[in-house]
């Protein structure tokens, strides 16, 4: 069987000339979870339009079709059919089930925001690089105003975010509350201020429990959305050990945002090394054994070999299969972005 994926219309604008290579890499990582053999993945033009094409020995199963439907760059999926009259594209309906409307991640606009399509890819890399497929708990420890949480919610994950500033967390809380109200979701909300021993830290937790319908609410088919206004250095005080399946984040690039590790820190650093050395051991603690972490960062300020060394020294197994090394791409003159995916061993 031969299939063709039509790229999302905004995909090339987001990733410039490297968008096609990123797509092949993302597909290859997701397809590692197929039960049937696949191959011949390439980008090619059909009637002047660029597609990603691939072959499978057997027709895609419903589970495999769902995986393909969740690819960040997918706009439409086709089967390539060879007939005496020529080659034709047979449309295939997307089969991914969404918990909330897919456009939620693109509603909030603000400087320095991580693009929602890129965020979707980060989540896919983390999710499909670990084994659990049910009751997923996702943490973004540098959540900003919550793009990662919204994209995780689309997939029906339980999503949690930590952000050091009260202002972005409050904006995210108000946005989410309005969204759930306008979409007529059943939900309950609670808020709690808390602090550490001898006021070593202070934080505020905003928690939503939500369901699509009253019937699903009664059946306890709900998702948790939680935002913590606090320092990510204390993630292990906010959450239990081995709590999360995946951890996903886009490290600040030092352009719109710097990296902050202290609540009263006035200056911002462009280099994420300090942030990772301080917080990564704590993030590892709240990640389940064999859980995965996917982080994007600006490798102009931290080269990949040094990034990998930080992870390995803290007990992570960095993914170095070929597709995982194909995500470096230029965002602008000052940002050369890459992605590291690593598994918690032990």
Task: Encode pLDDT of 68-103 as tens digits.
Answer: 999 999 999 999 998 998 889 999 999 888 999 888
At 145-197, the pLDDT tens digits run 999 999 999 999 999 999 998 999 999 999 999 999 999 999 999 999 999 98
Beta bridge partners of 296: 250, 339
Q: What are the residues facing 91 on neighbouring strands?
A: 78
- Does the pTM of the predicted model rise above 0.85? yes
Mean pLDDT of the chain: 91
Angle at the Cα of 135 (from 156 to 203), degrees rounded to 5? 80
With a CB cutoff of 8 Å and minimum separation 6, the contacts of 16 are 329, 330
Q: What is the pLDDT of residue 265?
A: 43
Beta bridge partners of 90: 79
Q: What percent of the chain has pLDDT over 90?
A: 75
Sheet holding 86-92, edge to edge: 38-46, 49-56, 2-7, 74-83, 86-92
Average pLDDT over residues 189-210: 94
Rg (C-alpha) for the chain, rounded Å, is 20
Which pair of structure tokens corresponds to residue 294? Answer: 């996917």
Using an 8 Å Cβ cutoff, are 274 and 232 in contact? no
- Could you state, in order of their start, the residue ranges of all structural domains in the chain? 2-92, 102-344
pLDDT exceeds cutoff 50 at 230:
yes
pLDDT at residue 185, rounded to an integer: 95
Answer yes or no: is pLDDT of 259 > 90: no
The CATH homologous superfamily of the domain defined by 102-344 = Vaccinia Virus protein VP39 (3.40.50.150)
């Amino acid at each position: 069987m031969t299939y063709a994926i039509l790229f999302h219309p905004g995909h090339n604008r987001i990733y410039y000339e490297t968008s096609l290579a990123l797509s092949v890499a993302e597909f290859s990582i997701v397809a590692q979870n197929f039960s049937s053999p696949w191959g011949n993945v390439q980008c090619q033009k059909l009637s002047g339009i660029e597609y990603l094409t691939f072959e499978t020995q057997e027709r895609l199963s419903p589970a495999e079709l769902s995986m393909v439907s969740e690819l960040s760059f997918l706009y439409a999926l086709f089967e390539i059919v060879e007939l005496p009259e020529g080659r034709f594209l047979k449309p295939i309906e997307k089969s991914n089930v969404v918990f909330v409307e897919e456009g939620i991640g693109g509603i909030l606009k603000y400087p320095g925001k991580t693009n929602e399509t890129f965020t979707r890819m980060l989540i896919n890399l983390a999710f499909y690089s670990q084994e659990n497929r049910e009751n997923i708990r996702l943490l973004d420890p540098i959540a900003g105003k919550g793009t990662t949480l919204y994209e995780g919610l689309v997939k029906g994950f339980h999503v949690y975010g930590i952000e050091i500033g009260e202002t972005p967390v409050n904006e995210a809380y108000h946005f989410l509350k309005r969204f759930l109200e306008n979409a007529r979701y059943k939900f309950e909300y609670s808020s709690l201020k808390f602090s550490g021993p001898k006021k070593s830290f202070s934080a505020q937790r905003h928690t939503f429990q939500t369901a699509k319908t009253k019937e699903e609410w009664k059946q306890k088919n709900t998702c948790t959305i939680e935002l913590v206004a606090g320092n990510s250095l204390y993630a292990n005080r906010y959450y239990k050990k081995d709590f999360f399946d995946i951890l996903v984040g886009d490290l600040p690039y030092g352009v719109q945002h710097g990296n902050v590790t202290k609540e009263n820190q006035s200056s911002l650093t462009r280099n994420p090394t300090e942030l990772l050395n301080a917080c990564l051991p704590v993030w590892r603690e709240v990640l389940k054994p064999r859980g995965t972490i996917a982080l994007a960062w600006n490798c102009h300020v931290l080269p990949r070999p040094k990034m990998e060394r930080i992870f390995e020294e803290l007990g992570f197994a960095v993914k170095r299969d070929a597709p995982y090394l194909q995500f470096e791409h230029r965002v602008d003159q000052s940002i050369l972005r890459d992605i590291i995916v690593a598994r918690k061993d032990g």
